[in-house]
A and B are shown apart, each in its own frame.
Chain A
Amino acid sequence: MSAIQIIPLNWYITLSAILFGMGVMGVLFRRNTIIILMCIELMLNAVNLLLVAFSAHHSNAQAQVFVFFIMAVAAAEVAVGLAILMMIYRNTKSTDVNFLNKLKW
Chain B
Amino acid sequence: MNLTVTEILFGILSLMAIVSGISVIFSRNPVFSVLYLIITFFSIAGHYILLNAQFLAAVHIIVYAGAIMVLFLFVIMMLNLNKETEPTKPVWVQFAAVIAGGVLMITLIGSLKGAETITMAQPQNSEIGLVGNLGKVLFSDFLVPFELSSVLFLSAMVGAVLLGKKHTVQS
Contact = CB atoms under 8 A, between A and B. Distances in A.
Interface in B24-52: 24-25, 30, 33-34, 37, 40-41, 44, 47-48, 50-52
Interface size class, chain B: 35 or more
Contacts of B12: none
Contacts of A53: 51
Given A20-B108, A52-B48, A42 B101 contact: no
Contact of B24 (A8, A42, A85): A42
Interface size class, chain A: 35 or more
Given A75-B67, A96-B87, A56 B7 contact: no
Contacts of A31: 86-89
Contact of A52 (B34, B53, B67, B68): B53
B40 A56 contact: no
Nearest to B137: A61
Report whether over half of chain A's contact residues are helix, strand or loop; otherwise say mixed: helix
Interface of B: 4, 6-7, 9-10, 14, 17-18, 21-22, 24-25, 30, 33-34, 37, 40-41, 44, 47-48, 50-53, 55-56, 59-60, 63-64, 67-68, 71-72, 75-76, 78-79, 81, 86-89, 94, 96-98, 100-102, 104-105, 108-109, 112, 115, 117-121, 124-126, 128-129, 133-134, 137-138, 141-142, 145, 149, 152-153, 156-157, 159-161, 163-164, 166
23 contacts: A4-B52, A5-B119, A6-B7, A11-B10, A19-B40, A20-B104, A22-B105, A25-B98, A26-B25, A28-B96, A37-B72, A45-B41, A49-B48, A55-B51, A56-B128, A60-B128, A69-B142, A74-B68, A80-B160, A83-B164, A85-B75, A86-B78, A87-B164
